[in-house]
């Protein structure tokens, strides 16, 4: 060339290297665009922080939320200035429906279905072309499986107690009632004029009315957890319905020694020296029988069957749920138990076991639906003004145990409600004239506090139409508080309001 430099040639080589690096850097940018625009997009466009969601909230009336009979649970009204805000059908539904406030954001279904209610929902891939449509917003009306009447009855039954009630159809997973108390006035939060005072008072309230206990509360289950142990024991083949433990009767008085710790029985040993089988042990809620069943099943089996029913991960549900656990999982034994003592105690619900009331309803639903668990659900259809109605069909979470095993537990739970000894533990749980299955629980909290009162059950036992789970915080024995609430609500559902 022009002889103008030493080592002229290498410039071309290094320039190509630079070109490669720049191209790779830009490829990273294209990848990032794909990540935000496709991979995380479904989550981002549904977020309440999304500008389109915020903008729609101020200009477009939200879709309605209706109960299973078409009664409006959430509707819109406008104030003197013409600003739109929400009104709700009473306090009973607040922890389910939630609120939509321009000041405090959204909660409950208003949050979970915000994009649909605001009319923005859409999958970025399938709706890529729909976005070009003339109408930007298509608010959808949600129809719930919830029954406003039953929901109100459940909240009224809990009264001044703190607690939760879940009622669902085990064959479809449709939730008919999802009550949490204490509750609050969501309309007052949605109304900008009263929002601030209402919300700040609720945040200060020590009884935590904003907490949806049915889905986000985690409680010691006590004896209702025995149904989980029964499912795991029968499912894994560790026991049969006829299995007995010969050391069980002998240790009723002194307690069963497990690794130096004594498992005591809560029930008075009216059963004498008879070795109890599944039905007998469930009738009197025998801790020793279930501790031995848990040990026989092993930690891995207990956790595996619990997880099949939804433990250890948030439930697939319309609302966010807390994670229920059998154990902390920080131990080295199979399943994550620390030792046999923890496993034995967990088997009757008194170790590091914490559950949501909804999770316990699913345990009862598994038994009621002959071993197959249906996914719980609230929203049964969505109707858009432009897009028409979309029906959301029942979905199964899979078969947990065989029909025969489920029927065996079903029979044991019937005995726990109808049996001569059993009815003392579940007073008031029976639906008059209808065979009822159930299990009560009294969850000791340690210390001097009153135990949590639990009841799970279903009716009619031979063709279950309704499952109920009742938790009442620190209300005493299961038989005294939770069981009558469960019985009354099932009666109301099956026979209509008294």
Q: Which residues of the shown chain bind other proteins in the complex (CB under 8 A)? A: 1-8, 10-15, 17-19, 21-23, 25-26, 28-30, 32-34, 36-38, 40-41, 44-45, 47, 49-52, 54-56, 58, 124-125, 127-129, 131-132, 136
Distance CA 170, CA 252 (A): 36
Nearer to other proteins, 126 or 254 (CB): 126
Instruction: Name the percent of the chain in helix, strand, coil, to the closest 5.
Output: 40, 15, 45
Rounded to a whole number of angstroms, the minimum distance from the CB of residue 21 to other proteins is 8
Whether the CB-CB separation of 76 and 138 falls below 8 Å is answered with no
Q: Using the minimum distance from each CB to other proteins, give the nearer residue, 84 or 333.
A: 84
Nearest distance in Å: CB 3, other proteins? 5
Give a three-class secondary structure readout of 345-390: HHCCCCCCCEECHHHHHHHHHHHHCCCEEECCECEEEEEECCCEEE
Q: Which of 13, 393 has the CB closer to other proteins? A: 13
- Least spacing, CB of residue 140 vs other proteins, in Å: 18
Written in H, E and C, the secondary structure of 238-265 is CCCCCCCCCHHHHCCCCCEEECCEEECC
**Shortest Å distance, C-beta 26 to other proteins:** 5
| Letter string b/e over residues 428-446, b meaning 16 or more CB atoms within 10 A of that residue's CB | bbbbeeebbbbbbbbbeee
The answer, yes or no, to whether the previous bond of 434 is cis (omega within 30 of 0) is no
Complex with other proteins: residue 53 or 89, whichever CB lies closer: 53
Spatial distance between the Cα atoms of 467 and 438, rounded to a whole number of angstroms:
9
Nearer to other proteins, 35 or 403 (CB): 35
For residues 244 and 377, the answer to whether their CB atoms sit within 8 Å is no
With tokens 């009224």, the residue in question is 156
Computed over its alpha carbons, how large is the radius of gyration of the chain?
Answer: 27
Please identify, using beta-carbon distances, which residue of 44 and 404 lies nearer to other proteins. Answer: 44
- Residue 129 CB, nearest distance to other proteins (Å)? 7
- To the nearest whole angstrom, how small is the minimum distance from the Cβ of residue 258 to other proteins? 46
110-122 in b/e form (b: 16+ CB < 10 A) is bbbbbbbbbbbbb
CA–CA gap between residue 122 and residue 114 (Å, rounded): 12
Cis-peptide, bond into residue 347, ω within 30° of zero: no
How many helices and strands, by DSSP H and E, does the chain display? 19, 17
Shorter beta-carbon distance to other proteins: residue 29 or 391: 29
Which of 8, 270 has the CB closer to other proteins? 8
> Is there a contact between 455 and 440 (Cβ–Cβ < 8 Å)?
yes
Closer of 22 and 197 to other proteins (Cβ): 22
- The least CB distance from residue 27 to other proteins, in Å, is 9
Is 22 or 193 the residue whose CB approaches other proteins more closely? 22
Tokens representing 14 are 């290094």
In the complex, minimum distance from the CB of residue 4 to other proteins, in angstroms, rounded to a whole number: 4
The least distance separating other proteins from the CB of residue 61, rounded to whole angstroms, comes to 16
In the block, which residue shows the tokens 């935000």? Answer: 36
Per the DSSP assignment, residues forming a β-bridge with 470 are 165, 455
| Alpha helices, DSSP H, located in 160-209 | 186-190, 192-204
Minimum CB separation of residue 79 from other proteins in Å reads 18
Nearest distance from C-beta of residue 210 to other proteins, angstroms: 19
Cβ proximity to other proteins: between 115 and 209 the closer is 115
């Amino acid at each position: 060339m022009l002889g103008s430099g030493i080592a002229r040639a290498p410039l071309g080589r290094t320039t190509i290297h630079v070109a490669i690096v720049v191209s790779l850097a830009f490829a990273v940018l294209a990848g990032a665009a794909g990540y935000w625009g496709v991979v995380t997009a479904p989550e981002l466009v549904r977020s309440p922080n999304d500008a389109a969601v915020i903008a729609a909230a101020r200009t477009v009336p939200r879709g309605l939320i209706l109960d299973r009979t078409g009664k409006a649970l959430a509707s819109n009204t406008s104030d003197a200035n013409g600003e739109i805000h929400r009104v709700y059908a009473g306090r009973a539904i607040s922890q389910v429906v939630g609120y939509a406030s321009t000041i405090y954001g959204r909660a409950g279904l208003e949050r979970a279905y915000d994009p649909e209610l605001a009319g923005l929902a859409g999958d970025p891939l399938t709706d890529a072309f729909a976005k070009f449509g003339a109408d930007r917003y298509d608010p959808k009306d949600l129809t719930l499986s919830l029954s406003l009447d039953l929901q109100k009855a459940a909240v009224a039954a809990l009264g001044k107690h703190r607690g939760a009630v879940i009622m669902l159809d085990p064959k479809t997973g449709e939730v008919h009632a999802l009550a949490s108390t204490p509750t609050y006035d969501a309309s007052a939060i949605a109304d900008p004029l009263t929002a601030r005072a209402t919300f700040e008072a609720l945040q200060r309230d020590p009884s935590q009315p904003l907490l949806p206990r049915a889905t986000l509360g985690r409680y010691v289950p006590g004896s209702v957890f025995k149904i989980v142990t029964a499912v795991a024991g029968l499912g894994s083949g560790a026991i049969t319905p006829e299995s007995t433990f010969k050391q069980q009767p002998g240790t009723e008085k002194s307690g069963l020694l497990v690794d130096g710790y004594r498992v005591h029985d809560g029930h008075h040993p009216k059963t004498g020296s008879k070795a109890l089988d599944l039905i007998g042990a469930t009738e009197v809620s025998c801790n020793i029988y279930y501790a031995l069943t848990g040990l026989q099943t092993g930690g891995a089996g207990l956790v595996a069957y619990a997880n099949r029913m939804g433990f250890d991960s948030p439930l697939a549900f319309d609302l966010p749920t807390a994670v229920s656990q059998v154990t902390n999982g920080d131990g080295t034994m199979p399943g994550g138990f620390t030792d046999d003592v923890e496993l034995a105690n967990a088997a009757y619900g008194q170790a590091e076991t914490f559950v949501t009331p909804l999770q316990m309803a699913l345990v009862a639903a598994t038994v009621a639906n002959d071993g197959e668990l249906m996914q719980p659900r609230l929203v049964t259809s969505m109707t858009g003004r432009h897009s028409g109605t979309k029906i959301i069909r029942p979905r199964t979470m899979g078969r947990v145990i065989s029909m025969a095993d489920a029927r065996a537990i079903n029979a044991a739970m019937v005995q726990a409600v109808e049996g001569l000894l059993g009815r003392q533990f579940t007073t008031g749980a029976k639906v008059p004239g209808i065979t009822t299955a159930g299990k009560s629980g009294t969850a000791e909290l340690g210390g001097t506090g009153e135990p949590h009162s639990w009841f799970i059950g279903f009716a009619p036992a031979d063709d279950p139409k309704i499952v109920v789970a009742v938790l009442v915080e620190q209300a005493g024995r299961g038989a005294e508080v939770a069981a009558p609430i469960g019985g009354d609500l099932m009666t109301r559902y099956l026979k209509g309001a008294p």
